[in-house]
Amino acid sequence: MKTQGVLPTKGSRVWSIVCACTLLPFTAYAQRAPSVPDRPWESGRAENGLHAGPGNEMKLDPAHIYTLSELIDLAEQNNPATREAWAFAKGRATLLGISRSDLYPTLVAGALGATSKDGVLINENFALQSVGEYDLVFSLSYTLLDFGERRGHIDESRAHLLAANFRFNQVHLELVSRVLAAFFRFQQAQGEVVAAEANLTSARTVREAAEQRLGLGVATVPDVLEARSAEARAVYNLESARGARQTASGDLATVLMASPPSNYKVQSLDSLPIPDTLDETAEQAISKALALRPDLLAQMEEVRAANAAVTSAHSEWYPRLMFHGDDGYLRAYGQQSPLPGAYAGANVYHAELSLNWTVFDGGRRRNEIEQARASMKRAEADVDRKRDEVSDEVWRAYSDVNTAFRQRDAATTLLTASSDSYEAALESYRLGVRNLVDLLAAERDLADARSADITARVGVLNSLAALAYSTGDLLKTTARRPAP
């Protein structure tokens, strides 16, 4: 006899508790439409802990002057891109271990306990019998021959692992390149501040000279006003340069996974060694890139993986020889009414050797081979395309370095000439030989020359970094942790 449950009525306290418990998960996370059209919707989920708080940002020491190598090391240690690529490579390593495990036999231990009571129909009655079985068994399975299928899977997994390791190095290469680019932008902005401060000093000197000549009665008020206007323009340019420096500082801190408003110091541009010439030819640089670029090497490993997949697909055309065996101990109890029960036990085993050969599959194996070959051809084409891209990238970077060298020499000559011209114009103006227009023109030329000198010096470093990235040389001094 079944008992029927009674639902609580709506007026009962039990009903209220049931409703509250049932609706609580929905009301806590329910989405409601905005109540008014003139204000944005507030989800109200911040108090539920669904909004992530600030991450564990790295703290930079404001009293320490960080060198470029230290900044690169900090970025490699803290940027999550390296940990993501490392974890992916570790996963590929486990897949290789899984593929290798197919070379070994599989041993399984099992225990079985079963009991049953059944009847055998004899004339008009059932003869009932009870049977209980307890079985302990060890099962061994092993593929003796597969004509290269397992070896193909192992070679494919090994190639994928090497490709993942090379991509792990590529992540480091790109991260170092990002640090260098942000660092040089900061150096450019910092140099522009120094140049703007020097320009303000020059503009202030011109204004003081104009006021002095006005006091002597040999200059006009418009001359003084124009000199003051030039000084105000220099102040404006200085503040703009300081703002750009703050932005560049925040960009560099972001690459380091530090807070953008971090207060820190880095080594100056003057402390960085800048070479004058390249010690290798363009052909040597291209050959080095084709041998070292991790992204190109990763694609080459993908070709090897595709080739191994073709080998595995070919093995499906051949038979597979397998062994399977069981060895165990069986103990059983049996009883048939009205006879007494009895126990029995025995060692049991089973062994089989099977040869399986797919004779017809509707073209599946043929299509799988064609698919594997198409993947291999595509991977080979990608390698050829990447080689051309790398060669062109190295050639452009090599040409940019030589151009940057010439620009730096020209900027140095320009700065020297502009400084001499400004000093001569200032002295001549004080002596009354030159007018204010000539002096202001010389001042503007000097300001442009200072900016061009900073741009040219940083340009050399940027072009050298681009060349080192395109050839893979950046990994020689920055890779501090081994690949998985």
Q: Does the pLDDT at position 20 exceed 50?
A: no
ω before 338 within 30° of 0 (cis)?
Answer: yes
Mean pLDDT of 137-156: 91
Which of 290, 312, 315 is closest to 375 using CA atoms?
312
Tokens describing residue 199: 């320009």
| Residue 428 pLDDT class (50, 70, 90 cuts) | very high
CA Rg, the chain, in Å? 40
HEC readout, the chain:
CCCCCCCCCCCCHHHHHHHHHHHHHHHHHCCCCCCCCCCCCCCCCHHHCCCCCCCCCECCCCCCEECHHHHHHHHHHHCHHHHHHHHHHHHHHHHHHHHHHCCCCEEEEEEEEEEEEEEEEECCEEEEEEEEEEEEEEEEEEEEECCCHHHHHHHHHHHHHHHHHHHHHHHHHHHHHHHHHHHHHHHHHHHHHHHHHHHHHHHHHHHHHHHHHHHCCCCCHHHHHHHHHHHHHHHHHHHHHHHHHHHHHHHHHHHCCECCCCCCEECCHHHCCCCCCCCCCHHHHHHHHHHHCHHHHHHHHHHHHHHHHHHHHHHCCCCEEEEEEEEEEEEEEEEECCCCCEEEEEEEEEEEEEEECCCCCCCHHHHHHHHHHHHHHHHHHHHHHHHHHHHHHHHHHHHHHHHHHHHHHHHHHHHHHHHHHHHHHHHHHHCCCCCHHHHHHHHHHHHHHHHHHHHHHHHHHHHHHHHHHHHCCHHHHHCCCCCC
- Evaluate if residue 45 carries a pLDDT over 80: no
Percent of the chain with pLDDT over 90: 62
List the domain boundaries for the chain.
Answer: 65-104+148-319+364-478, 108-145+320-356
pLDDT at residue 133 in the model: 87
Q: What is the pLDDT of residue 477?
A: 54
| pLDDT at residue 294 in the model | 94
pLDDT at 480: 46
Q: How far is it, in rounded angstroms, from Cα 183 to Cα 175?
A: 12
**Range 334-366 burial, b when 16+ CB lie within 10 A, else e:** ebeeeeeeeeeeeeeeeeeeeeeeeeeeeeebe
Identify whether the C-beta of residue 440 lies closer than 8 Å to the C-beta of residue 230. yes
Query: Is a pLDDT exceeding 60 seen at residue 26?
Result: no
Least confident of 101-115, 203-217, 329-343: 329-343
Q: Which of 399, 405, 410 is nearest to 459 (CA)?
A: 405
Residue 352's pLDDT band, with cuts at 50, 70 and 90, is very high
484 pLDDT higher than 80 = no
CATH 1.20.1250.20 for the 65-104+148-319+364-478 domain, yes or no: no
Q: Which residue has the higher pLDDT, 366 or 340?
A: 366
Predicted confidence at residue 52, as pLDDT, reads: 52
pLDDT in tens, 67-120: 999 999 999 988 888 889 999 999 999 999 999 998 999 999 999 889 888 877
The predicted model gives 42-56 an average pLDDT of: 54
Provide the pLDDT for residue 338: 75
What pLDDT was estimated at residue 176? Answer: 93
Q: Quick one: pLDDT at residue 44?
A: 57
Which pLDDT score, from 0 to 100, does residue 22 have? Answer: 44
- Give the C-alpha separation, 398 to 41, whole Å: 54
pTM: 0.78
Which of the four pLDDT bands, split at 50, 70 and 90, describes residue 276? confident
Q: Domain 108-145+320-356 is in which class?
A: mainly beta
Paired strand residues for 414: none
**What's the average model confidence in pLDDT over 40-61?**
63
- Which residue would you say has higher pLDDT here, 15 or 70? 70
Residue 18 in this model has a pLDDT that exceeds 50: no
- Lowest-confidence pick of 30-44, 207-221, 306-320: 30-44
CA distance linking residue 403 with residue 121, whole number of Å: 102
The dihedrals phi and psi of 258, each to the nearest 5 degrees, come to -110, 170
What is the mean pLDDT of the segment spanning 50-54?
51
Q: What b/e sequence results for 186-198 when a residue is b if at least 16 CB atoms lie within 10 Å of its CB, and e otherwise? A: bbbbbbbbbbbee
Asked if residues 209 and 113 have their Cβ atoms less than 8 Å apart, the reply is no
As given in the structure block, the two tokens for residue 48 are 């539920």
Tokens standing for residue 236: 């404006």
pLDDT over threshold 80, residue 444: yes
Contact 450, 56 (CB under 8 A): no
Mean pLDDT lowest among 68-72, 253-257, 322-326, 479-483 = 479-483
The predicted pLDDT at position 56 comes to 58
Which pLDDT does position 413 carry in this prediction?
96
Q: Which residues share a beta bridge with 138?
A: 109, 327
Q: CA-to-CA distance for 310 and 150, rounded, in angstroms?
A: 12
State the average pLDDT over residues 38-66.
69
Using 50, 70 and 90 to split pLDDT, how confident is the model at 40? confident
Cβ 326 vs Cβ 139: under 8 Å: yes
Count of alpha carbons within 13 angstroms of residue 47, beta-carbon side:
5
**pLDDT tens across 369-392, in order?**
999 999 999 999 999 999 999 999
The values of phi and psi at residue 162, to 5°, are: -65, -40
Average pLDDT score over residue span 31-51? 64
pLDDT at 462 over 50: yes
Mean of all residue pLDDT scores within the chain: 86
Q: What is the pLDDT of residues 240-260, one digit of tens each?
A: 999 999 999 999 999 999 988
Q: What is the pLDDT of residue 25?
A: 46
The rounded distance, in Å, linking the Cα atoms of 434 and 436 is 7
C-beta neighbour count of 146 within 10 angstroms: 19
How far apart (Å, rounded) are the C-alpha atoms in residues 440 and 227? Answer: 8
- Across residues 53-70, what is the average pLDDT? 82
Distance (Å, rounded) from C-alpha 396 to C-alpha 392? 6
Tokens of 135: 């079985």
pLDDT of residue 239: 96
At 54, the pLDDT band (50, 70, 90 cuts) reads low
